[in-house]
Structure 1
């Protein structure tokens, strides 16, 4: 029986630059940093959670398609906040740039999107109270 999601992979061109973005700007923590013959195995995660994002060096696969609908095209990674508007201000002060000037309300709560230095979409979400009650 499956018990957990271990890793979600994001392809990046510069692992050190990606590590700085995810730790210094978004506040994730570095979990694993292991150089090996097949490539550096580097992960980050939200403090206190078990899921890790693998920042894998692959220049050809980095980034996302260019045809995106702002606010409606989620990223391959969706990070949840318990107070997105407050987190948005912190992230903006740390230099994170966003698709829109402020988070917006939508059917399931509050959302805003950004991209990492390689163009990987990162969706930041806060569930509505109804969404929290339903899962």
Structure 2
């Protein structure tokens, strides 16, 4: 995961750490860390725009992604924190690479829009995660 800095913890101390930790956990197949980055009632969007609600759905979806054994190259992560310091948005642009079951290399762009909430312990967790949020207006439903 080439990035401007790699996380070495499971706890996001800044909003942008959440994206870095998530990508690193997916790459190493660590579903427990992936799920730990979400609030219990969080929402994750599918590529088609379908909403997945709660940790069980988020776990199931991300297990499918982990099965691809993907690698990510992060182009940038931009975090914006609300004036009161309790909410943030992340935008991450990254390239996702994997090999399909026939051995063919595949690539996709990920251009996220994420909403995070600061927790009482100072960590940040996803409330809404849309991996295609910035691209959604131009996408056809699949």
TM range (shorter): under 0.3
TM-score by length of 1: 0.27
TM-score by length of 2: 0.27
Determine which structure has the larger strand proportion and give its number. Answer: 2
Determine which structure has the larger helix proportion and give its number. Answer: 2
Bigger Rg, structure 1 or 2:
1
